Structure 1
Amino acid sequence: MEKLVVLLAFLPCVSMMTLPNTMMDSDPSLRFAVMGDWGGLPLPPYYTKQETLVAAELANTVSNWGADFIVSVGDNFYYSGVKDVTDSRFQKTFEDVFDAESLSSVPWYIIGGNHDHNGNITAQLAYTNVSSRWKFPDLYYDLSFKIPKTNVSVRLLMLDTIVLCGNSDDFLGEQPLGSSNQKLANEQLSWLVEKLESSKDEYLLVAGHYPVWSIAEHGPTKCLQHLLEPLLTKYSVTAYLCGHDHNMQYLQDDSGIGYVLSGAGNFMENSRKHEDRVPADYLRFFQGDSETMGGFVYMQVTPKEMHITYIQSGGKSLFQTTLNPRDL
C-alpha cells in the first residue's frame, strides 16, 4: 500500500526541491496543502513569527509547484476564535499574513478546531460570504474533485470533530469528554456513513481537527478511535488529515490508512508524551523541534499515486511517502 521515502539530504529552498521521480510537472495531478493550528495570537500583532514563516514557505511552495486549494484543519484563531464576522482577526491573522500573490486566488477549505468553537463558530461560516478565498460553508461538508484530464476522482470529507466528540482544554491536556449536542453529533455521523458507503472514488480522504493517532501532547483521541477509526478501516479510506497537536507526524496503520498530522502552523511542541499509546510500527515520521519554525504538508494526487511531502519553514523537505488508490 505504501512506498516510503525518507529524504537524506535537506535542501535549501523549495524552488530546488525535487519532485518524486514518478511525479513530473507534465503529469496530470491534483495539488493541495494541508495546514492546521496556524491561528496567531489574541494580542497585537495577532500573529506569531512562526505563522509568518510558514505563510512565506506556503507561498513559495504554491508559486513553484502550484496548488488547487489549501485545507485548513482547524484552530484558525487562537485562543477563543472570533467574536463576529467583522472581527479584525480575520484581517490581521489571516488576510494580512497569507497575502502573497501566489496565494491570492487559491481557495482555503476550512474546518473548525477546539479554539474556534470557544468563540463564534458561525461567524467563521459567515466569513465565506466576505472573503473570496475563505470556504467554510458548513461545520461539516463534502468536496469532490477530478484529477485534471482524467476521470480519477478525489473525495474529501470535512468533519467537525468538536461536534462529534466535544471540546477540550489544551492547557489542561484533557481529552474531549463527549459531544455537547448528541443529536448534532449523531446527524454528522450518519451523514459520514452515507458518504463513505456511496463513495466510488479512487481516493477517499477524511479531515478533522482532532487526531485519531498521535504520539504527542494530546495523544490519540479516544472518541475518534471509537467512532471514526472503524469506519475509516471498513470503507478503505486512503488517509485521515488532522492537526491539534502542534507538530508534524505521519503514521500508518496495519490496513494501510495514512494518518497525516499537520499542526505546525503557529507553534511547535516537541512532545512524545503518548508514544506508548500508539502501536510501535505506526509512526513513520515525527518533527516537533521548535527550531524548525513549523511547516505544512503538500499533497500531489496522480492517477497512480498520492504523494505526501512534509515541508519545513525555509524550504526543507523533511519526509516523503506515497499511498496508492483504493482497490475498489
Structure 2
Amino acid sequence: MKGTLGTALGATLSGAALTGLATGMPTQIESGDIDSRASLKDEFDLHFMAVGDWGRNGADHQLQVARQMGKWATENPNDFIISTGDNFYPSGVASEHDPLWHYSYENIYTDFSLQWDWYPILGNHDYKSDPEAQVRYSKISRRWKMPARYYSKTFRLKSGEKLLIAFIDTNPMIPEFYKNSEYGPHVAGQQPKKQLDWLDKLLANSDACWNIVVGHHPVYTAGPRTENYDTLAVRKVLQPILEKHQVDVYLSGHEHSMQHLKNSSEHFHQFISGAGSEVTPVKQNLGYSRFVAAEYGFMYFAVNTRQLQCKIVDHLGRTSYSMVISK
C-alpha cells in the first residue's frame, strides 16, 4: 500500500513539474512578488518619515501620531523612519533593558508598516540618563539602527545617484551643557570639534546628489527657542558647515511643532519635526518661515534625482503642508 501511494504521488509531482516547464510557468516565486507593498509606487525612488520628541508612554497624542504613521506607511511607499531625538521622556533610558523601550517604543509603533529600519539620533532628554544605552539597543532590536552617537548612511537611487544622510549629535556642541548637572557627565569627553571635523570631511567628499544633515537642535526656529542659548550655540558651529558644502536639508526636532524654514541668503532648507507627542507655541510672520504650526504629527519625504518632496501629516492623517525642492 505504501509503495503504491508513494509511486502515485511521485508520478503526480513529476507530471506537475513537467507541465509547468512545458507551459513556461515560473518554478520559483520570490516573496516580493506577492508582497502587496510592492504595488505602492510613485515617481520618487526613496521615501522616509521623520518624527521627533515622542517618547511619552503613548501619552499626549503619541499614540495617535503613531497610528497615523502606520496608516500612512501602509497606504504609501516608505523605506525607513528617522527619529530626530528626545526619544524617551523625561530622562532618557537607564539601560538597553529599560522598560521604557516597551512602553514608549515597541508597544506604540506596532503597525507592520513601521517595522522597517529606524535611524535615530540623541536629544537633550536622552542625555539625562545613559545615551550609550540607545546605541547598545541596536544589538537587541532588529529595527533600531544607531551604530554610534553620530554616523552616516548613503542610499542609492534608481538612477545610480546617491542620497547622503549625516546623523549628528548636537548635544556636545552646546557649551552650557558641560556645566549642567544632568547633561554634563554624558557630554564630557565627547570632543565636539572631532565630530564637526568628521562632518566637514564627510560632506567635502560626498558625491551624492542630495545631502541631508539630521540633528536634534535647530539652527533656526519659529518656536519658543528662537534666540535660546542652545539654538545660538548650534547655529554658530553648524551653519557655516551647512553653507560651505551647500547642504540641501537640515532636519531637526527639539521644538515641539512642525516647521519649514528657509533663509533667502542660504542654500539649505530647515525642517523641524518635533511634535511626535507634544506641541508648543510657534511664532508667525518671521522672515525665514515658510510653514509653522503647533500641531501633532510627522513629516514624509520622497526623493528622486531631480526633486525632494516634503509633506507634513497631522495626528488625524490630514496633510497640512506639501512642498518640493528641485535641483
TM interval, short-chain normalised = 0.7 to 0.9
Secondary structure in 1 aligned to 2:85? coil
What is the SS of the residue equivalent to 2:310?
strand
1:268 to partner: Cα distance = 0.7
Normalized per residue, the structure richer in helix is 2
Whether 1:214 aligns to 2:230 is no
Could you say which residue in structure 2 is the equivalent of 1:7? none
* C-alpha distance 67-83 of structure 1, shift in aligned 2 (>3 A): same
CA distance change for structure 1 residues 271 and 187 in 2, over 3 Å: closer, same or farther? Answer: same
Q: CA offset at residue 283 of structure 1?
A: 0.2
State the 1:256 CA deviation.
Answer: 3.4
Match of 1:162 in 2: 171
Structure 1 residue 121 displacement after superposition: 0.6
Structure 1 position 286 matched with structure 2 position 292: yes
Give the superposition deviation at 1:60: 0.9
Q: TM-score, normalised by structure 2?
A: 0.81
> Is 1:138–2:148 an aligned residue pair?
yes
Aligned partner of residue 268 in structure 1, secondary structure = coil
Q: How does 1:25-64 map to 2 (within 5 A)?
A: 25-40=41-56, 46-64=57-75
Is contact 2:308-2:324 (8 Å) kept?
yes
Q: Secondary structure at the match of 1:135?
A: coil
Contact 1:163 1:184 in 2 (8 A): yes
CA distance in 2, matches of 1:215, 1:28: 30
CA–CA distance in structure 2, aligned partners of residues 89 and 132 of structure 1: 17
8 Å contact 2:214–2:251 — kept in the other structure? yes
Shift of 1:180: 4.6
Moved over 3 A (4+): 179-183
Q: Pairwise mapping of residues 257-296 of structure 1 onto structure 2 (< 5 A)?
A: 257-272=268-283, 280-288=286-294, 292=295, 294-296=296-298
Gaps of 5+ in 1: 1-23, 41-45, 169-175
User: In 2, distance between residues paired with 1:126 and 1:75?
Assistant: 17
* Pairing partner for 1:115 from 112, 125, 128: 125
Q: What's the secondary structure of 1:260's corresponding residue?
A: strand
Of stretches 106-115 and 254-263 in structure 1, the one that deviates more from structure 2 is 254-263
| Match status 1:302 vs 2:313 | no
Output aligned runs, 1:145-156, within 5 Å: 145-147=155-157, 149-156=158-165
> Which structure's CA Rg is the greater one?
2
1:66 aligned residue = 77
Aligned residues: 280
- Does the 8 A contact of 2:60 with 2:278 survive in 1? no
Q: TM-score, normalised by structure 1?
A: 0.81
Aligned sequence identity (%): 29
| Residue type at the aligned position of 1:256 | H
Residues 30 and 137 (structure 1), Cα distance of their counterparts in 2 relative to 1, 3 Å cut: same
**For residues 78-227 of structure 1, what are the structure 2 equivalents within 5 Å?**
78-104=89-115, 106-147=116-157, 149-166=158-175, 180-181=187-188, 184-219=191-226, 221-227=231-237
Q: CA RMSD in A?
A: 2.2
